[in-house]
Amino acid sequence: MTTPLEKKSSVKEIKDRFDCDVDRFSNLETGQTATIDAPLAMELIAQAAFKSTPNIRRVLDIGCGAGNNTIKLSQYVSPFDSGLVDLSLPMLERARQRISEVNAGDIRIFQGDFRKIDLPDEGYNVTLAAAVLHHLRDDRDWETAFGNIYRLTAPGGSIWITDLVSHETGPVQSLMWKRYGEYLCSLGGESYRDKVFAYIDKEDSPRPVTYQLDLLRKAGFRHAELLHKNSCFAAFGAVKEA
């Protein structure tokens, strides 16, 4: 990735792109096709949330998109109240419509950046964050965001993440990036690969899964878990002590 952090896409630019991409995020069977193992990752974080968190009553979905991950969790536990956060209002409206069809709990939508929205301390038994945290920028931004997630999580609650990740060493980063490029070519050829690589370079600033597991512990979570990793994508999370 060559674009420096200070020249990455703004929050508004990210919002504008996702406003026009609702349909791509509305398929529960495939998830986001540009993400390796997206259906498996959704399944794993839903099962991990269900198995790790007693009495799920309130769920926060950060960067909810069209609601796939909350819908997937509803297959294991329902009803529960949902707090949906996204930059894109069209995404939120689609998510609310789709979730209301499978979950009878209350649904509240919050348009904006979850770091700036007034959400209740210890208000959620489960937090889901899928393909959103890679938009964080410098170390302070990452640390503050993970601290906020810990604050929002109820005692005994959990956070589950699926995301694009980078790697700690150059050779492994090159290896995994090459593998990801081959995966994208298998979907849509070199032009599709180049398109995805271009918007990742402009928009995203992922960190290693090892870095993020350490941040979860630093924020206060005591039980961190790596559920799955394939190339540049991982599913992981943590449980807060009761």
pLDDT in tens, the chain (242 residues): 688 988 888 988 877 777 677 667 667 666 678 899 999 999 999 999 999 999 999 999 999 999 999 999 999 999 999 999 999 999 999 999 999 999 999 999 999 999 899 999 999 999 999 999 999 999 999 999 999 999 999 999 999 999 999 999 999 999 999 999 999 999 999 999 999 999 899 999 999 999 999 999 999 998 999 999 999 999 999 999 99
Report the C-alpha gap between 25 and 62 in whole angstroms. Answer: 14
pLDDT of residue 9: 84
Alpha carbon 140 to chain centroid, angstroms: 19
Question: Which uninterrupted H or E stretch holds 226?
Answer: strand 223-230
pLDDT of residue 16: 78
pLDDT of residue 79: 96
Report the C-alpha gap between 105 and 85 in whole angstroms. Answer: 16
**CB-CB contact of 160 with 124 (8 Å):** no
- Of the candidates 129, 141, 159, which has an alpha carbon nearest to the alpha carbon of residue 220? 159
pLDDT of residue 26: 67
Domain ranges of the chain: 5-166+204-239
pLDDT of residue 8: 84
Report the C-alpha gap between 100 and 66 in whole angstroms. Answer: 12
pLDDT of residue 6: 83
183 SS3 class: helix
Q: What are the tokens at 202? A: 């402009």
Question: According to CATH, what is the number of the domain 5-166+204-239?
Answer: 3.40.50.150
- The reply to whether the predicted model has a pTM over 0.85 is yes
The pairing of beta strand 124-130 with beta strand 107-111: unpaired
